[in-house]
Amino acid sequence: MVVREILPEEKKDFNRVVNHPLQSWQWGQFREKTGRKIIRLGVFDPNKRHQLVSAYTLSVHPLPIIGGTSIYFPRGPMPDQTMIEALKKIAKRRKAVFVKLEPNVHQPYQAQQTSHFGQVKKFLKENNCQAGRPQFTKYNFILDISQSEEAILKQMKSKTRYNIRLSQRHEVEVVEDNSIQALKIFWKLMEETTKRQRFYARTFDYYQKMREVLLPDKTFHLLLAKYQNTILGAYIFFTFNDTLYYPYGASSREHRDKMALYKLMWEAIKLGKAQKTTKFDMWGSPGPNPSPKDPWYGFHRFKEGFGATLEEYLGTFDLVIDQPKYKIFTLANSWRWKYLRLRKLLPF
């Protein structure tokens, strides 16, 4: 295999072989607008007239104090020797301390099942990879939306179907509005949601740049749920290749009895079907049987109700290039997260 950087005229082929919007050409353009250095690598098969068979989008992040950089490789393909060798070369060239890999490799979760990931994890460990702090959760819900609307509704939990119908009886309206004014409404609700749930969110500028880059290619969709002219929910969805994604959502506490968010998700599913996608990736879950005390428990129950399959992912791995600096970084990063968790517990 031959690995080299992708040329701009190869954008279409690049997007054809990558398997997640965070690996797409457009996402790389967006991250460049936020100040990140982006590297796009292509793997070409010399036995097939140098056909592009795999591709990677990498973002480079400076590491304060200790110097050097880290490289992030989100939702890439199954790791193999060609990938690892290419990453090592790029990392050394960019003075990276480590490369964080979060492969888009998953299997349906079943209690007591034998995982098929053992050999892959053994391969990664043999190539100087170790478990790293995740950016993505290890679990996710994925819903098959290739079926008819009737079949999708039938496999939902009865309470979810009831809430969808209840929102319809209350005449909750869901519209797609990709305007900058709608994005400002989303951001206002996001501020409210993050304060209520005590988690961290991106800046408005981040979402604004995202919209600017992804909207022209029809990857970006902002849906608003309204009740009597009051916006009760605003969700951002991506459509990429054969999949609909739900990465960001914000909501109001007003009129919670109208079940507007259920109508919003149902309309998103119908949007995905109209866009010819066959899967709905809900972006994350705390995992099987989460504690009711888990801050993400409500999100888990909400997504689970739509009848999606709980998927287990390979996990997060750091390909370590500079072991001494990596040890310093992990220690400092551990203390940083302890501080951030403490801050969340303090009153605003």
Domain ranges of the chain: 2-136+316-345, 140-311
DSSP 14-31: HHHH--SGGGSHHHHHHH
180-197 and 204-214 are packed helices; what angle lies between their axes, rounded to 10 degrees? Answer: 140
pLDDT in tens, the chain (348 residues): 899 999 999 999 999 999 999 999 999 999 999 999 999 999 999 888 789 999 999 999 999 889 999 999 999 999 999 999 999 999 999 999 999 999 999 999 986 666 779 999 999 999 999 999 999 999 999 999 999 999 999 999 999 999 999 999 999 999 999 999 999 999 999 998 887 766 777 999 999 999 999 999 999 999 999 999 999 999 999 999 999 999 999 999 999 999 999 999 999 999 999 999 999 999 999 999 999 999 889 999 999 999 999 999 999 999 999 999 999 999 988 886 676 666 655 554
The residues, ordered by sequence, that sit 6+ positions from 323 with a Cβ below 8 Å of its Cβ are none
For residue 111, the model assigns a pLDDT of 62
pLDDT of residue 49: 79
Which H, E and C letters describe 150-188, residue by residue? HHHHHHCCHHHHHHHHHHHHCCCEEEECCCHHHHHHHHH
pLDDT of residue 337: 63
Q: How far apart are CA 310 and CA 288, in angstroms?
A: 8
Question: SS3 of 60, please?
Answer: strand
CATH 3.40.190.10 fits 2-136+316-345, yes or no: no
CATH 3.40.630.30 assigned to 140-311: yes
- Distances in Å between the alpha carbon of 10 and those of 13, 212, 215, 254, 344? 5, 22, 20, 48, 45
| Cβ(255)–Cβ(206) below 8 Å | no
- Whether the pTM exceeds 0.85: the reply is yes
CATH topology identical between 2-136+316-345 and 140-311: yes
